[in-house]
Chain A
Amino acid sequence: MSRVRVLVGTKKGAFILTSDGKRASWTVEGPHFAGFEIYHMKGSPLNPDRLYASQTSSWFGQIMQRSDDAGKTWEPVGNEFAYDGDPGLHLWYDGSQKPWKFTRVWHVEPSLDDAETVYAGIEDAALFVSKDGGKSWQEMTGLRTNTNTEKWQPGAGGMGVHTILIDPTRHERMYVAISAAGVFRSDDGGKTWAVKTKGLKSAYELPDPKSEVGHCVHRIAMNAKAPNVLYMQKHWDVLRSDDAGENWHDVGGNLPSDFGFPIDVHAHDPKTVYVVPIKSDSEHFPPEGKLRVYRSKSGGDEWEALTKGLPQSDCYVNILRDAMAVDTLDSCGVYFGTTGGQVYGSPDGGDSWSPLVRDLPGVLSVEVQTLS
């Protein structure tokens, strides 16, 4: 029988939630790494018991953890992320140039080809790879050397590579997203990269709204059945690309707000997409205090509010960019975690929701493993 494992990174530790395929009752294990921020956890698609976790701390810096038994035990692996050569300068909040500095790992993305290979997106923005299960890390320098890095700048949360997508039909094609720089695509396994921001407009954030670089992209997502179709939640705007990022167009349609952080796509239908609108860039909570996931079944533009089982009054949580994920069961499950510590799940594609767990520390990330 199928099982589902939900990996939850929080501000004070990691939790692993498990259920059978019915997804009606959940077991909560944790906290692992109690007291530490867990920016992200993810399992290898080739060896689902191989998990990676990014453990960070303002006191102690970065720790990378690896489990080979589905999170029962963990071991610290390599935590040195040294830029290749002098990384130079990037734009700072005040307009000055500031030296690049490693701060933390925002996102880990295990390879689709090799269980020992894993990618890491870091702050200050760069892409690293480990080919020995996380023991050592090397920068994939093309991301910084091919692009206008002197114009990259941090968003309020820092200048991190927060999204790494690998085209499941063409593994040498990768995407990364950076706040606040934009979206980048590689067609050669990460050796070289090109900016893919045509169509993005950031009127409130950039002096030139159509600038090639500097957009605060919050998240991008794809479905394996249509890998050239990408969805984006930008600082403001929800967008879609039908040509692998060459051109983007707004599909915010009737959303109550097109500001938000996460976006994800149904596991089986590339036209069904989910967002959680937030009131604004200065008020990071749901409009009207109603927690509503919005679903479009038409690739955007036309959205419906999903409210069954979600609080519809006095709700002022946020949902961060890496805190939404889907499972791949026949009836697609959708999951998200909140800054208030709730993890909600829907076993029916968003029609109804219930909390898997209610009172965790603020949730930073959610990933899902569908296990047979």
Chain B
Amino acid sequence: MIRVALPYHLRNLAKVGPEVELEIAGPITQRTVLDTLEARYPMLRGLIRDYATGRRRPFLRFYACEEDYSNADPDDPLPAAVAEGREPYLVIGAIAGG
């Protein structure tokens, strides 16, 4: 079971709590996690990754196990703690304001 934590606005849009749990068969990578997330919650498509490029939106970051995976290869395996459900995969909205 993979745990994914979403930012406030995406939780509201998907009508979910602070974390969602996903069953993923096969390798646990950022791509498989996000593909599975979007398949289960289609309203999130295009909001985390740009439709045209497939890349992370600039004001979002991806964290796990106190590391920043935002610019990592999306097909690299995520840490075992994420794959085993001990730690969540975090989608974070950049801090901004004034």
User: What is the bound-complex CA distance between A102 and B9, given in angstroms?
Assistant: 21
B49-57, B69-77, B81-89 - interface stretch: B49-57
A59 contacts chain B at the CB level, 8 A cutoff: yes
- Within 8 Å by CB of B47, from A35, A60, A81, A82, lies A60
Question: In chain B, what residue has the closest Cβ to A101?
Answer: B52
> Main SS of the interface on chain B?
loop
Cα A80 to Cα B42 with chains together (Å): 11
Q: Which chain A positions have C-beta within 8 A of B34?
A: none
| A82→B93 contact, CB < 8 A | no
Residue of B whose beta carbon sits closest to that of A83: B52
B25 close to A (CB within 8 Å): no
Decide: A60 and B43 in contact? CB cutoff 8 A: no
Contact of A59 among B50, B51, B52, B59 (CB under 8 A): B59
Interface residues of A in 80-130 (CB under 8 A from B): 80-82, 101-102
Q: Which residue of A lies closest to B8 (CB)?
A: A35
Interface centre among B45, B46, B48, B50 (most CB of A within 10 A): B46
Partner of A60, one of B51, B52, B57, B96: B57
The distance in angstroms between the C-alpha atoms of A364 and B60, with both chains bound, is 25
**B46 contacts A36, CB within 8 Å?**
no
By the criterion CB–CB under 8 Å, are A60 and B9 in contact?
A: yes
Chain B residues near A35 (CB-CB < 8 A): 9
Within 8 Å CB of B51, what residues of A?
80-82, 102
| Number of residues of chain A lying within 8 A (CB) of chain B | 16
Query: Does A57 sit at the interface, judged by CB under 8 A?
Result: yes
Restricting to A172-216, which residues have a CB under 8 Å from any CB of B? none
Q: Judge if B28 is at the interface, Cβ distance under 8 Å.
A: no
Tell me the bound Cα distance from A325 to B50 in angstroms.
34
Asked if A63 and B59 make an inter-chain contact with CB atoms under 8 angstroms apart, the answer reads no
Q: Could you say which residues of chain A place their CB within 8 Å of the CB of B48?
A: 60
A76's partner among B7, B13, B50, B59 (CB-CB below 8 A) is B13
Establish whether residues B9 and A80, one from each chain, have CB atoms under 8 Å apart when the complex forms.
no
Asked if A59 contacts B60 (CB within 8 A), the reply is yes
A80 and chain B: residue at smallest CB distance: B51
Asked if A58 and B59 sit within 8 Å, CB to CB, the answer is yes
Nearest 5 A-B pairs (CB), nearest first? A60-B47, A76-B43, A59-B59, A80-B51, A59-B93
A sample of 15 inter-chain contacts (CB < 8 A) reads A35-B9, A57-B9, A58-B96, A59-B7, A59-B59, A59-B94, A60-B10, A61-B57, A62-B46, A79-B45, A79-B47, A80-B45, A80-B51, A101-B52, A102-B52
Given contacts A57-B9, A59-B60, A63-B43, 4 further A-B contacts (CB under 8 A): A59-B94, A79-B46, A80-B46, A82-B51
